[in-house]
Amino acid sequence: MKKSCLLLILLLTTSLWAEVTNKEALRHTYERVVLHNIDTSVTALHGLEEAIRAKQAADAKARFGDLVTAWKKVRALYFLGELDPAYLDTPRLIDTFHHGNEDLADQLDLILESDDPLEIALFKNSHKSINALEYLLFTKKVSDPRVNAAMLRICGAVKTHLFDIQKGYLQNKPLFLQDTNRANALLINALSESSYKLKEWRIADVAGISDKYEGDPDLRRGEYPHSGNSLQAVKAIVSMYIQVLDSPQEGDFGDYLESILAAKNLQRIKTPLQQSHTLLAQMQERDLLTSRKLYEQLHTLHLGIYVYLIDALKMQAKILDADGD
Amino acid sequence: MEQLPLTEYFIDPNRRLFWLYLLSSFAISVLYLALAPKQRRRNATSKLWLHPSAILDYKYFFVSVFIKTFMLLPLLLSAQQVSLYSYELLSSQFGYMRLRLPREIVIGLYTAALFIVSDFTRYWLHRLLHTVPVLWRFHKVHHSAKVLTPFTFYRVHPVENLLFGFRYALSIGTVTGVFLFLFGAMIDIHTVLGVNIFIFIFSLLGSNLRHSHIPLRYPGFLEYLFISPRQHQIHHSSSHFDKNYGGYLAIWDLIFGSLQRSLDTKILRFGLHKTQMRSYTTLRQLLLTPFTRRTP
Ligand SMILES: [Zn+2]
Ligand SMILES: [Zn+2]
């Protein structure tokens, strides 16, 4: 009797403790990853804007890379729309990858050639996206007055959306932390979605290993074909995963998973993550054409997230008693 | 954990013989017998509880626990494996998909789907156990019970256990894979004491009376929806082996034409034909008879 009482107390305290750890991990993720990354994006955009205004082409191009790095980390973990539906479509206003921008370049060329005022000419959301900015910055002259004005206009639009997201995340922090289970679900769903798109859109389609483009690798299918930042985007997303799941700082979400997951299942997330990171460190943009190994690691990582979900359901119990008639 | 496998059967809410379910079945029985005094003599007698068939049930329960723990468990492909495989298959076929529904609704749907799909596959496996000759050999072990006690639930040949285990892993795994594909991390199960809430409620409502001599019927149309204890008892009577294959739900029997309601169904002689019963009187026989070439 005494023994079972002790056991009960032990169980209760450990489950309470686990709850705190979960909440801590969520709070850390929100502060150190989500808010941190959106702040960095805003800063990166400011820098880019200054360089464009100063017509420093080389500087602007470098700073565009910084913006890509910062923004992709925000985009690939975006769950603000789940906290407040008003923010569901905001990311699509900022980037157009896989959202129907087939003839964006042609449209922008026409706009630049026309004499219409820019505030009228740049009428579509895609005209004011990061992808439009990339096209102008890497194929036109920054010093050209109309190009320059167009770029500044786009920067302004992107900045408004980034501010929006920043404000939204700040306001919704209490709501996020209020329901631990839901918060876990939002976080994990964001990771599973972005890891799928990472491996299929950003790797498989480019390397010609997806069903759709079997045997036909093409760098132009990358996210940033004009600037050669497609690999940079991949690196950014993977390093965001490391921020969330395997950061050097104590108390990240990976540490929480470590406390609840079987060690071998945790490794199904952490190992491919580390392997991808290592592979990426040695890659150049062109290596995206032959990135089957990276694809395999990212595929394993994506499935690893599901292994965690299945593990968390605790349904292995009592198979043999589910029988009988 | 570190418990004996045997005691676990009474203190684990996932088990049919969990003490709370036994207690609730007992309470229902007391109530029933208070209202139907005629049934008292039949139920409160050592003739029933110490009948050779009941005693064999008790012994068999003891032995089968060990067989299952040490021999069958390692053989089973796990529901987790099936879930992951189903998800992988779906996402490779249809890409990435996410339906947006409130979490509470997703959990309700998933919990219900687990229960309903599992009950459906149970119906079909049970039906096959009766209709496929080689499977019937093994299922005869369960139907060789001359009297019914809650322990008769465990009077099932290990081969049948194995089939039910596979069935469980496949059903639960597939449902989970589909829900992961559609809803990702939003899924969870509504549970009571760690048990799917549907299973908990049905177990509490006296699923132990299915194997008993309390002829509890459900009124009116209810027996079209749920299998009453009486309906399962009817399944155990030799003239109705081909009726009421269902577990918790009666709708499968209704749809596939094997439903027999309690009303007007009288004859109740449990067990196999006399000449066959001789081959199922010892532990050894329960385990080995299905393998003998000429099963009587
Ligand atoms: Zn039965
Ligand atoms: Zn049967």
Across the A:B interface, residue pairs with CB atoms under 8 Å apart total: 105
Query: Confidence band (pLDDT; 50, 70, 90) for B2?
Result: very low
Q: How far apart are CA B243 and CA B258, in angstroms?
A: 5
Cβ distance of B189 and A313 shorter than 8 Å:
yes
pLDDT on residue A162: 98
Cβ distance of B168 and A316 shorter than 8 Å:
no
Whole-angstrom CA distances from A275 to A59, A261, B88 are: 32, 20, 21
Query: Confidence band (pLDDT; 50, 70, 90) for A187?
Result: very high
For the segment B247-252, the average pLDDT, to the nearest whole number, is 95
Find the helix or strand (DSSP H, E) in which A179 lies. Answer: none
Ligand 1 centroid – CA A74 distance (Å): 57
Whether A196 and chain B come into contact, CB under 8 Å, resolves to yes
Q: How far apart are CA B160 and CA B68, in angstroms?
A: 11
pLDDT on residue B69: 74
Interface confidence (ipTM) of the complex: 0.85
The percent of residues in chain B predicted with pLDDT above 90, rounded, is: 56
Q: Which of residues 290-319 of A touch B (CB under 8 A)?
A: 303, 306-307, 309-311, 313-319
pLDDT, tens digit (0-9, with 9 covering 90-100), for A215-251: 999 999 999 999 999 999 999 999 999 999 999 988 8
Best residue in B57, B61, B117, B188 for a mutation probing chain A (most A CBs within 10 Å): B188
- B39 CB neighbour count, 10 Å cutoff: 16
Residues 6+ apart with CB under 8 A from A135: A104, A105, A108, A226
pLDDT over 80 at A325, yes or no: no
pLDDT over 70 at A16, yes or no: no
Residues 6+ apart with CB under 8 A from B269: B237, B238, B239
Ligand 2 centroid – CA B112 distance (Å): 25
pLDDT on residue B1: 38
Whether A184 and chain B come into contact, CB under 8 Å, resolves to yes
DSSP state of A285: G
Domains of chain A are 20-321 (1.20.1420.20)
Cβ distance of B184 and A184 shorter than 8 Å:
no
pLDDT on residue A131: 95
pLDDT on residue A312: 83
pLDDT on residue A1: 45
pLDDT on residue A320: 47
pTM (2 decimals)? 0.88
pLDDT, tens digit (0-9, with 9 covering 90-100), for A29-71: 999 999 999 999 999 999 999 999 999 999 999 999 999 999 9
Report domain extents, chain B.
5-208+275-283
Contacts of B126 in chain A (CB under 8 A): 325
pLDDT, tens digit (0-9, with 9 covering 90-100), for B35-68: 888 888 888 888 888 998 999 999 999 888 888 7
* Ligand number, closest to the Cα atom of B128: 2
Partner residue opposite A193 with nearest CB, options B98, B172, B180: B98
Contacts of B164 in chain A (CB under 8 A): 320, 322-324
Whether A323 and chain B come into contact, CB under 8 Å, resolves to yes
Whether A284 and chain B come into contact, CB under 8 Å, resolves to no
Whether A263 and chain B come into contact, CB under 8 Å, resolves to no
Measure B163 CA to nearest chain A CA, in Å.
Answer: 9
Of the listed ranges A151-160, A195-204, B152-161, the least confidently predicted one is B152-161
What are the DSSP calls for B202-244, one per residue? HHHTTGGGTTSS--PPPPTTHHHHB--HHHHHHHHBGGGTTS-
pLDDT over 70 at A318, yes or no: no
Q: Which residue has the higher pLDDT, A18 or B79?
A: B79
